[in-house]
Amino acid sequence: MYPKIVSFGPAKVAGYLHKTSMSNNTVPAFWQEIFSDGRHKKLHQQDFVKTHREYGVCFDSDGDTFSYVVGVEIKDGANVPSEFTACDLPKSEYAVFSAQSMEAIPQAWKEAYDWLHSTESHTYTKGSMDFELYETDCTSCTGNAECEACENNDIKCDVYIAVTKKW
């Protein structure tokens, strides 16, 4: 699959930090944890929220371990409480791979890395922050119930990989 190449950023995201590894990826379990313990709703109730679209930001990778933040875009100059981790997504070119369901997200990441290893037109931008951007606007997740898409697990996601043209 050939990705869509887009310019994105800058954006500032804040949310809950999780550390994991490629060899024992606990990101899906972390998402379930923040839904079940109320942190998901709490995140969407914060005054710093600019948009309710959700991000899954990957950074600080050493080849196996990496940090991951489940977050939302925040307002310029917003005060972010210390329980949240803020990430600056720089303006960059990104290769975008789409997942039409939650179950398809691992396949989108696999396609991204397969493409990176085979493409002659782009190279990975080292030191970048790659991320998932979820199509759903979880505005209604601020109330007593999750939004319809979250409740029905009907969420579409785009995987953004920072790239640079080789020539």
Cβ contacts of 71 within 8 Å, gap of 6 or more: 13, 14, 15, 16, 43, 54, 55, 57, 84, 85, 87
More confident residue, 63 or 91: 91
Indicate whether 141 pLDDT > 70.
Answer: no
Q: What is the CATH number of domain 9-91+129-161?
A: 3.20.80.10
Q: Give the pLDDT band (50/70/90) at residue 140.
A: low
> What's the pLDDT tens digit per position in 74-90?
999 999 999 999 999 99
The pLDDT of 13-40, averaged and rounded, is 94
Q: Other CB atoms closer than 10 Å to residue 151's CB: what's the count?
A: 12
Alpha helix segments (H runs only) across the chain: 27-36, 39-44, 105-118, 148-151
Domain ranges in the chain are: 9-91+129-161
Question: Does residue 110 have a pLDDT over 90?
Answer: yes
The label of the residue with tokens 């998901």 reads 40
For the chain, the straight-line distance linking the first and the last C-alpha, in angstroms and rounded, comes to 21
**Taking 80 as the threshold, does the pLDDT of residue 150 lie above it?**
no
Residue 96 pLDDT level (bands cut at 50, 70, 90): very high
pLDDT of residue 152: 57
